[in-house]
Amino acid sequence: MHQVFSMKELGNISYFLGISIHGSPSSGYFLSQQKYAQDILTKAGLSDCKPCSSPLAVKPTSQPHSTAPYSNPTLYRSLVGALQYLTITRPDLSLAVNQCCQHMHAPTNGHFSAVKRLLRFVKGTLHHGLQFSPSTFDVHAFSDSNWAGDVLDRKSTSGYCIFLGSNLISWSAKKQATVSRSSTEAEYRALAHTTAELTWILMLLHDLDIPLPTLPILWCDNVSAIALANNPVFHSRSKHIEVDCHFIRDKVLAKQLHLQYIPTTDQLADIFTKPLSVGRFSYLKSKLMEFHHPISLSGPDKISPIPDNQDSCSITPPADAHTVSPPSVS
């Protein structure tokens, strides 16, 4: 790289664009955004709030005036935009942030209550982040969907996570653009999105001259979708998803991808598609992220202990709240 670009060595990285990086010869790198997350809480006036155990409620409750327009939509958009940047090291927030982003144009009091719950969850997990450890170059992907999960327009939500060895390198939670008429169709659209991301990652590894020791495996918990990918015969019920079918099937026939079944209980992408119980959410999160933050005695990300007992907080932000935005590079 020195031969091609004008560069200079700045030493080991420790803090970049709001992301704290802690390196260890034995355990690899730990990435977190604790300071950035604390800034978001300060802006929202929730620095001393009581943490909660999950970012989304499994059964949302309807509160009085929850459908009334929120009085400060600018604050709502600013907080949600900041939370989007936080998902760089917090894949467990992806689904909740995606749902909040769907109401940017006209947020209600109920929508802001959902943001408040999300921030309370962030408060209790400031020290969580991603761990990148020495591993193999095996590629594994998990794909899932929540069929007709949106009660307003009945569109499905796609979710995937991709691992390079034991390290999580890509993930997504996104509402599908069209309504799926069956769970198989919803799963197949999710498979198509995951396959597209896998194709890009494989091309990148190829450009970096990194050979793969094994064929990439895509795990899916829908037997019908797997059968459709391996069956060269189309029928009337699958014509409307024929494009996605051809895309995935070409990859399978070219032996660039291997589809395998995985039970729903072991489907890691479940965390990106639907609200889960606290136990289920905690279990899947433990498969994606690290819970322990290396102790640092210096630098901008110095850890402060989180009190065990927190008082309930008000959703009213302070008058001098500043705008939280991703750090810029000068």
Residues 6+ apart with CB under 8 A from 31: 19, 20, 21, 89, 129, 130, 131, 132
pLDDT mean over 57-69: 75
Strand 157-164, strand 139-146: pairing: antiparallel
Q: Is the pLDDT of residue 38 over 80?
A: yes
pLDDT at 234: 55
Q: How confident is the model at residue 230 (pLDDT cuts 50, 70, 90)?
A: confident
What fold is seen in the domain 136-288? Nucleotidyltransferase; domain 5 (3.30.420)
- Helices 242-253 and 223-230: crossing angle in degrees, nearest 10, is 70
pLDDT at 74: 92
pLDDT digits (tens, 9 = 90+) for 177-192: 888 878 888 888 888 8
Strand 258-261, strand 217-220: pairing: parallel
pLDDT digits (tens, 9 = 90+) for 120-142: 999 988 889 999 998 899 999 99
Residue boundaries of the structural domains of the chain: 15-124, 136-288
pLDDT at 182: 81
